[in-house]
């Protein structure tokens, strides 16, 4: 079944969807709700749109979603600020000698399934503005204090006490989700994954001035990774080499109860890299310390449910979790934001198919369609990290392809919208029967 490339004007469904959080998950859910005929409104705690974060990745399965927006105009805008590795590929180095064991080629460009790696804040701004352009109401500076639902409605309470009512509430409020506690009926705290990343994004000023590092900045975009025991260091230059960005994953057992993003210390990074290829320390030493972030990687076991009133969860089946609030990812999957997008697309299609009178069936079907796939993709973050951190270099010598970043068809070729269109009716019918059995 062909899926339209633009915003097909579907008949209005009369479903008011309240979305909490204007991250990529919430914004995509809202845009897709408009495409499917619903009426979304977003509540976001941030007082204004800010260019926050550093590198973020969207795989081809996300590119397919962006490419359908505004006749491809949104994807073209994202392309302009994203890395272009057509010529350079990905150089994978052995951690100590620095030798390049393989140059992983970049797959040919495909306008239907583009790939984007760029600054999170810049890409986010493009999506945010598109949601506004579509007429999505985005209410900033409103921290949602509580969620509520009845048989016939669901809503939120803002911190100033204002109650907002709709048909569905989507808790896309990120890894520190409040919605999660409400949906589950208990507080599920994230655990430390045992790893953290230091990450930074800065201008190439010092890098290009140094004869040893200017190679990364003078001929366009580059991507290099050094793989070692329990550590990997990924370094890119973007925007024709004018911006530099690196991410270093390393062991870290710190308690992440209170916060997991701190200012980083360059001396600690250098310490971890002391026996590594000296080029790594060279790159690190070009980093302005105030641009260094120490980001603890949180992990949680898959939640038993993402939907209120489903399985063991209390409630009436009108509140759901989406994106990081339902399933945080490790960066080594490079799929966290992409899976949040797939959630939003799937939810919007299934709500249209289920209709205003069967919200519970629609939300249950959303979980049933998404749950297994997301859990499997989540696992790839661990398997890639462990594959890299436990590399047998003798084996890699014989088979250098074995160390490449995995590009798996079952993840990348997935078309979330087409899939929801194809399986939606049957899964909604099954999920609706389970609603009736519980009622
Ligand atoms: C500031 C920031 C910087 C990030 N930087 C990076 C990065 O550099 N690289 C990377 O790979 N990933 C980054 N991420 C995470 C990445 O955006 C997500 O993993 C992914 O896009 C999934 O998005 P999400 O919409 O599920 O969650 P998020 O992107 O975390 O969005 C959740 C949103 O909900 C809002 N929110 C939370 N609680 C409430 C509340 N009670 N009321 C109203 N609003 C609320 C938050 O302010 C946030 O905007 C960042 C996230 C944030 C919020």
Residues 6+ apart with CB under 8 A from 286: 202, 206, 207, 210, 213, 244
pLDDT digits (tens, 9 = 90+) for 354-399: 999 999 999 999 999 999 999 999 888 778 888 888 888 899 889 9
Residue nearest to atom 5 of ligand 1 (CA): 53
Q: What is the pLDDT of residue 280?
A: 97
Ligand 1 center–CA 413 separation, angstroms: 25
Q: Domains of the chain, with CATH numbers?
A: 16-83+111-188+300-390+406-438 (3.50.50.60), 191-298 (3.30.9.30)
Active site residue 199: yes
Q: How many angstroms separate the CA atoms of 409 and 391, rounded?
A: 23
Q: What is the pLDDT of residue 321?
A: 97
Q: What is the pLDDT of residue 371?
A: 96
Q: Is 154 exposed, middle or buried (0-12, 13-18, 19+ CB in 10 A)?
A: buried
Q: What is the pLDDT of residue 47?
A: 86
Residues 6+ apart with CB under 8 A from 152: none
Minimal CA–CA distance to 220: which of 241, 206, 199?
A: 241
Q: What is the pLDDT of residue 38?
A: 97
Ligand 1 pocket, residues with Cβ under 6 angstroms: 20-26, 43-46, 52-56, 120, 143-144, 172-174, 178, 323-324, 336-337, 340
pLDDT digits (tens, 9 = 90+) for 44-58: 999 887 777 789 999
| Residue to probe by mutation, ligand 1, list 22, 120, 378, most atoms within 8 Å of CB | 120
DSSP state of 163: E
Q: What is the pLDDT of residue 159?
A: 87
pLDDT digits (tens, 9 = 90+) for 110-161: 999 999 999 999 999 999 999 999 999 999 999 998 999 999 999 999 988 9
pLDDT digits (tens, 9 = 90+) for 199-249: 999 999 999 999 999 999 998 999 999 999 999 999 999 999 999 999 999
Handedness of CA 63, 64, 65, 67 (dihedral sign): positive
**Which atom of ligand 1 is least distant from the CA of 26?**
25
- pLDDT value at 6 more than 60: no
pLDDT category of residue 334 using cuts at 50, 70 and 90 = confident
Q: How many angstroms separate the CA atoms of 233 and 247, rounded?
A: 6
- Which of 68, 120, 180, 199 is an active site residue? 199
Residue nearest to atom 29 of ligand 1 (CA): 23
Q: What is the pLDDT of residue 439?
A: 42
Residues 6+ apart with CB under 8 A from 90: 103, 104, 106, 223, 224, 225, 404, 405
- pLDDT value at 262 more than 90: no
**Which atom of ligand 1 is least distant from the CA of 199?**
8
- pLDDT value at 259 more than 80: no
| Beta-sheet pairing, 168-171 with 319-321 | parallel
């Amino acid at each position: 079944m062909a899926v339209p490339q633009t915003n097909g004007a579907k008949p209005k469904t009369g479903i008011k969807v309240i979305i909490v959080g204007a991250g990529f998950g919430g914004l995509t859910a809202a845009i897709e709700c408009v495409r499917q005929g619903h009426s979304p409104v977003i509540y976001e705690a941030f007082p204004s749109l800010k260019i926050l974060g550093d590198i973020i990745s969207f795989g081809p399965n996300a590119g397919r979603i962006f490419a359908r927006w505004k006749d491809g105009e949104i994807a073209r805008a994202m392309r302009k600020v994203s890395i272009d590795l057509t010529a350079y590929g990905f150089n994978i180095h052995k951690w100590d000698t620095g030798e390049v064991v393989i140059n992983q080629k970049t797959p040919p460009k495909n306008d239907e399934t583009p790939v984007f790696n760029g600054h999170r804040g810049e890409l986010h701004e493009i999506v945010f503005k598109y949601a506004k352009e579509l007429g999505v109401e985005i209410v900033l500076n409103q921290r949602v204090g509580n969620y509520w639902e009845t048989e016939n409605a669901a809503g939120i309470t803002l911190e100033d006490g204002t109650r907002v009512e709709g048909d569905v509430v989507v808790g896309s409020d990120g890894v520190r989700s409040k919605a999660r506690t409400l949906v589950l009926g208990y507080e599920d705290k994230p655990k430390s994954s045992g790893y953290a990343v230091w990450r930074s994004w800065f201008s190439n000023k010092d890098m290009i001035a140094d004869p040893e590092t200017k190679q990364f900045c003078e001929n366009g975009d580059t991507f290099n990774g050094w793989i070692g025991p329990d550590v990997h260091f990924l370094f890119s230059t973007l925007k024709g080499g004018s911006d530099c960005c690196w991410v270093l994953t390393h062991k870290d057992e710190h308690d992440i109860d209170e916060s997991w993003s701190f200012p980083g210390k360059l001396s600690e990074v250098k310490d971890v890299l002391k026996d590594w290829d000296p080029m790594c320390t060279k790159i690190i030493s070009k980093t302005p310390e105030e641009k260094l972030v120490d980001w603890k990687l949180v992990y949680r076991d898959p939640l038993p449910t993402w939907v209120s009133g489903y399985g063991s969860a209390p409630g009436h089946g009108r509140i759901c979790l989406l994106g990081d609030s339902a399933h945080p990812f490790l960066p080594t999957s490079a799929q966290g934001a992409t899976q949040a997008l797939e959630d939003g697309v799937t939810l919007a299609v299934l709500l249209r198919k289920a209709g205003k009178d069967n919200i519970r069936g629609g939300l249950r079907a959303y979980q049933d369609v998404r749950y297994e796939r997301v859990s499997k993709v989540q696992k790839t973050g661990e398997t890639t990290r462990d594959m890299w951190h436990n590399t047998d270099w003798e084996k890699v010598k014989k088979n250098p392809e074995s160390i490449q970043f995995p590009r798996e068809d079952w993840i990348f070729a997935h078309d979330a919208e087409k899939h929801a269109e194809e399986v939606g009716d049957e899964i909604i019918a099954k999920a609706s029967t389970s609603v009736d059995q519980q009622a």
